[in-house]
Amino acid sequence: MANSELQQLLLQSYQGVLSTHSQHLQGYPFGSVVPFCLDYQGRVIILISELAQHTKNLKVDKRCSLLVFAEGDDIQAAARLTIIADATPVAQHEVETIAQRYYRYFPQSKDFHNIHDFSFWVLQPVKYRYIGGFGKIHWAEPQTLANPFNAETETDMVEHMNQDHADALPLYAKLANIVANNVTISMTGIDSLGFHLRIGEKIIYISFPQAVNSPQQVRQTLVELLKIARQTGN
């Protein structure tokens, strides 16, 4: 399996099916849909209610799995990834940093996190099961998708793009064949392999042509991608 395919699928996903061990019906799995984003170590972060069944399940048994899959007309042919993991509450000293990144991906979450009884949990990966198509079915060890940019650096870059270059964001969306007219669009995150855009209620991932490791490289690459997007529109 090409690790890059697994990484790309995880980066392109922002929702999945969380399976936990039911405490109400002992011995049965319990599936629920959850949105998620990655933290700065590349781990899945979820925000879940204390009243939810999956939260009650995880408090008794931390073992779980998260299934994510690519969009497509044929679900059987679409790439998918099952993350076998141990779920634990995010450490208190990390909550603020995690929350600020999560809010960018899911702005409405800020209200019910602050007002209602929701908390952040992190999925510590134990094993991956990746299916990428015929002949591409593998178990894989947990992989590092760590973001080379710390929270402050990423936030500065994202805010700069949203405040000073908002007119460029719809052009970037064109690279994913998405026309973002008359819809709210914002950049939500940047890592070494690309960046996320939130277009209305949808989140997309735009890959960089090559990995970057500094804000200067990010700027250069974004300028190059903007030129490509403008040429595409001509």
pLDDT at 233: 60
Q: Where are the domains of the chain?
A: 3-140, 151-232
pLDDT at 179: 82
Is residue 60 a contact partner of residue 21, using CB atoms and an 8 Å limit? yes
Helix (H, G, I), strand (E, B) or coil at 123: strand
pLDDT tier, 182 (very low <50, low <70, confident <90, very high otherwise): confident
Helix (H, G, I), strand (E, B) or coil at 163: helix
Q: Tell me the whole-structure pTM to 2 decimals.
A: 0.92
Superfamily of domain 3-140: Electron Transport, Fmn-binding Protein; Chain A (2.30.110.10)
pLDDT tier, 91 (very low <50, low <70, confident <90, very high otherwise): very high
In this predicted model, what pLDDT tens digit does every residue of 45-66 receive, in sequence order? 999 999 999 999 999 999 999 9
CA separation for the pair 99, 32 (Å, rounded): 22
Q: Residue 1 pLDDT more than 50?
A: no
In this predicted model, what pLDDT tens digit does every residue of 133-170 receive, in sequence order? 777 889 999 877 778 899 999 999 999 999 999 999 99
Average pLDDT estimate for 90-98 = 95
State both tokens at 18. 């969380």
In this predicted model, what pLDDT tens digit does every residue of 207-232 receive, in sequence order? 999 999 999 999 999 999 999 999 87
Beta strands in the chain (DSSP E): 15-21, 29-35, 37-38, 44-49, 63-69, 80-89, 118-131, 137-140, 185-190, 194-199, 202-207
Q: In the CATH scheme, what is the code of domain 151-232? A: 3.20.180.10
pLDDT at 58: 98
Is residue 40 a contact partner of residue 151, using CB atoms and an 8 Å limit? yes
Average pLDDT estimate for 18-38 = 96
In this predicted model, what pLDDT tens digit does every residue of 97-138 receive, in sequence order? 999 999 999 999 988 887 788 999 999 999 999 998 777 889
Average pLDDT estimate for 16-42 = 96
